[in-house]
Amino acid sequence: MTGDREQQLLSAANLLLDARRTGTTIADLPAELCPTSIEEVYFVQDAVAAAFGPIGGWKIGAPTPEATPIFAPMPEAWISPNQSILSGDRFHYRGLEAEIAFLVGEDLPPRATPYTREEAIAAMASCHPAIEELETAFIDPAAIARFASLADLQSHGGFIFGAAIPNWQSIDFTQEKVMLAVDGSVRVERTGSNTSGDLLKLLPWLANEGATRTGGLRKGQWITTGSWTGNTLAFAGSTVTVEFSTAGRVDIRFA
């Protein structure tokens, strides 16, 4: 990547940051600033995330079971426990996704021999139900180019984790049911609906293929593994409940 191109991508990051910080959403990135590859997407993501402080973990997912996973950093400052009240000017889009997340229990530094699926799973300290809260720099995130949307931290706005799931290794996630409700009204009910098909495969992928970017997974980081429920919008003052059939429940409220 040339120095001139890096400057263009940093300009894109600054536009996204300004929109996020001021709440003044933009229609799109100028064509000459829009990333044209996943490598450029990740360059912009990393520049945006750096402005919000240390990384607390990673969101990863795949749109289909056959697709290459994509991932984005989650700022540590945006991570909250169950029953949190989400308040502040940065919450305006209020998108919601029900997810299954993992807390890393031991470091997985980059190494020449790839981690096996079993090693990556064994390195997880616990598994949790979670809500990913979505925010966006764009007026209509569905109307823009895919790489522009991905560059905007893949619309990440917050991560809220529920209690650890006992005996989670015995759960068949392809049969797990999930319900998402807003203000007591059930908005989504699905079964085995994680878009990657096998969410556990994302752990070794991130430990191996993602290591060049992440520098390796670290104890205490969170990994959340993609939406089960699509994107559901809430409002100021809304209460939100996500409940899995065996994987627990998580609640939040918007101020």
Alpha-carbon gap, residue 100 to 130, rounded angstroms: 6
Alpha-carbon gap, residue 103 to 121, rounded angstroms: 11
Which pLDDT score, from 0 to 100, does residue 108 have? 98
Q: What are 220's two structure tokens?
A: 């205490």
Alpha-carbon gap, residue 68 to 64, rounded angstroms: 8
CATH of 3-254, one of 3.30.70.270, 2.60.40.10, 1.10.760.10, 3.90.850.10: 3.90.850.10
Q: What is the SS3 string spanning 135-184? A: CCCECCHHHCCHHHHHHCHHHEEEEEECCCCCCHHHCCCCCCEEEEEECC
> Where do the structural domains in the chain lie, given as residue ranges?
3-254
Q: What are 148's two structure tokens?
A: 């522009």
Per-residue tens of pLDDT for the chain, all 255 residues: 899 999 999 999 999 999 999 999 999 999 999 999 999 999 999 999 999 999 999 999 999 999 999 999 999 999 999 999 999 999 999 999 999 999 999 999 999 999 999 999 999 999 999 999 999 999 999 999 999 999 999 999 999 999 999 999 999 999 999 999 999 999 999 999 999 999 999 999 999 999 999 999 999 999 999 999 999 999 999 999 999 999 999 999 999
Q: What are 171's two structure tokens?
A: 């759960």
Alpha-carbon gap, residue 174 to 199, rounded angstroms: 9
pTM metric for this prediction: 0.97
Which pLDDT score, from 0 to 100, does residue 1 have? 85
Alpha-carbon gap, residue 13 to 86, rounded angstroms: 25
Alpha-carbon gap, residue 214 to 104, rounded angstroms: 13
Q: Which residues pair with 180 in a beta bridge?
A: 188, 242
